[in-house]
Amino acid sequence: MITIKKYPNRRLYDTSQSQYVNIDGIRELVMQHKEFRVIDSKTEEDLTKSILLQIISEVESNENQALLTQTLLKQLIRFYGNDMQGFMRQYLEQSVATFLDQQDTVQGMMKGVMDASSPMNVFGQFIEQNMSMWNAFTQSAKPAASGAKKPEKNEKPPEEDS
């Protein structure tokens, strides 16, 4: 588990790398599926959730990358304090986890299809087939070439016994 300390000057320090990081560095840890926590350097309070929300807020401010619509955000806000809040949290976590699992499966299938049908793979398979046919041909030609003596230019081939 990577520990990142947040100092009063709002700087973030990655203790595992012994270097300062920014929000983009934290986002990269998330993208790489690395486990980390952000703590306040003085109180040791866990600040991970607020840093993650800050990352989401920054990404959501760019309309081209926004994932959460205003309607969805309003609906989520309505669940706070609601009797169904705990259920909704579990539902969202499980739904996203299931979606990511399915996405990985589909991407794996698509990669297999793309690998099989890419021009370079088809060309590679064609070359392999030709090489195996050539090897089979040369293997079958070896016994014939080693057992029979080729006639010289002026020499007549041996006649078969009738």
Task: Please report, in tens digits, the pLDDT of each residue of the chain (162 residues total).
Answer: 999 999 998 899 999 999 999 999 999 999 999 999 999 999 999 999 999 999 999 989 887 888 898 899 999 999 999 898 989 999 999 999 888 888 888 777 777 766 666 667 767 777 787 778 777 777 776 665 555 555 555 555 555 554
pLDDT of res. 151: 53
pLDDT of res. 154: 59
**From CA 102, how far away is CA 144, in angstroms rounded?**
57
pLDDT of res. 162: 47
What is the per-residue burial (b if ≥16 Cβ within 10 Å, else e) of 76-92?
A: eeebeeeeeeeeeeeee
Both structure tokens of 43: 């109180």
pLDDT of res. 144: 54
pLDDT of res. 49: 96
